[in-house]
Structure 1
């Protein structure tokens, strides 16, 4: 196979413009934006916060640096998944990067769902403002009372009643649902009984966030952090009535939609994680050259040369695996791409965590404090080892693909 990870010339220029905006316009505002979160209601944007975020988004949109995630689409730049990997890595270097360019999770996955499976009405009501970056969305799948890594366990009740479906149950880790701009949920529900094949029991339905009967119980905390104003919310649905036309593709199609949605989302997370690892390595190297102890630069103490070298090599290996998974996605065979996506979904967060942790060590006590972005980055990447499937599930998929090469038996 002729496998290429090369950016086309016009897209190299485009990437350089993104890199320049991130370094010179977004990163200088990170600390000020972050400081605003603790002023007043953490779940509302302060005037200055909104000014920073919307101002950067307006600059990006005016410059045509917008919706890069629309790979192989006439609505975007027509980037391949391989090419998008380079852009996502750059955006991963700053917490504001993805949203400034309208490439945030879970919105990108939800927009793909609306574009592929939504009705014309859904596209007008929800996809259009999402593409413009005017609203946010959430994807509700995980439930507190079942092992949601096996999605056949999803049990939120969704019962047809005349022209409506009625939803009852709870969801948690609903990322983005705390954002005051979040206007719509895509929800995985159970519509079929246990008499149906297990992959035909679940469906997906579109639910406006302001529908009566929806109650946000609490924000879920990640190692003590609530991630305001984005948030990962625990939500209860009580007799929530949604028009029957809001179900996507019809009953029993939930798994089909989920696989279309989660594949790209998983690899996008990995691309951004590599960007976070790169930033952590950069911070580690600068610290090692600036700080002195025992009469020497930190770089010259202990095993720090080896640590820095190992971090560089592991980032390079992770990037190449990510690009290979992206290349398989570009071939259009989701089944062939799946084991590669699972591999990078395990490897990228693991490598990023290691590099961030080594950077924390180089900074000492400052590294675990609010005075560097490292502690927040670590909690985010540690969570990524669970989001979109825990490591164990992905390793199982990798192993099954490997074993199938050597047996005709069902694995």
Structure 2
């Protein structure tokens, strides 16, 4: 890079003073202030200090800089006056646009995709999660003509696929990147096969899988913790949860249910991440029931819900997969809005209004999940030998034992279960 932007990469660290820029090209159903707030939240998630937020009307996107030259000059003045070190663009920038904006603004520039990748790189905890993030990073970096914000990776140990300080991304050996990506894909395919084996074992058990899905920061992890007693990271941060978490719970009429907490979705989720995280999201694809947790107090709640459905479609979730919407964060609503919303939810059998934080409505949600999972269950009368404890235990594990009694030399059970489970019982 040339011009006034020859800076030591280590200048840009956690605590960097930043400007959020929203190039508004029209046609979005989202509120501009809400979009700026979301991007500021993404930046906050990696420790950036947001000093300024600006929405710019872009009538004709420029190939060189996306925004107009006058807008670049105005932003450069803001950067100089406030001594900012970073500009975060809530848009997808081409490598050329990123380079030209860095020259024009005199500070580091990162786009929405790069920002989300930074968050994922910092949050991945499991070996699988780090593999997925590294693959997505490599895919993104392979086409970059400028260095991305890789200093954070070095500070936290990094992935080891980029050069040391002073090297520019353009000097990276792209053949080595491609080879590394091929190795990562093979490792992730192995992970996917292992998940498939685990899933097959559960289906033979079988225990239904209920996946919590939703927009990032909608309250999935708070709800997961309340339902399971787990201690999954649940903070008011975007992408607080990255690696999937599975726990076993019991419901009325369903002895065991596997509950899955998944990564939150976000609008314009980078395609690199959708592709890389398919192994993790297979838990969602194969789920028996989806609980779509919505932040019903958010001004863009409907647009967020649409984004979630779009990602579900993209990763291959069958439209026929049963869904329940949990309208979360009742506690944040004004009394009038809350009354109206609860009335609307009461007239729908696929919606439950809740507050995961206070626990309101959660018991109703559990009953609704149980009812949906046991739809189609039938009642069977089964006779067993009194000493056949293994079969009796199987009935208790896979169905709801409504009644049981002794008659002559037989133990009789009235059991409510799915027809498929009854067939499996007969073939044991």
Quickly name the TM-score band, shorter chain normalised: under 0.3
Higher RCO (CA-CA < 8 Å; seq separation 6+) = 1
How high is the TM-score relative to the length of structure 1?
0.26
- Higher Rg of the two aligned structures: 2
Structure 1 or 2: larger strand share? 2
Structure 1 or 2: larger helix share? 1
How high is the TM-score relative to the length of structure 2?
0.25
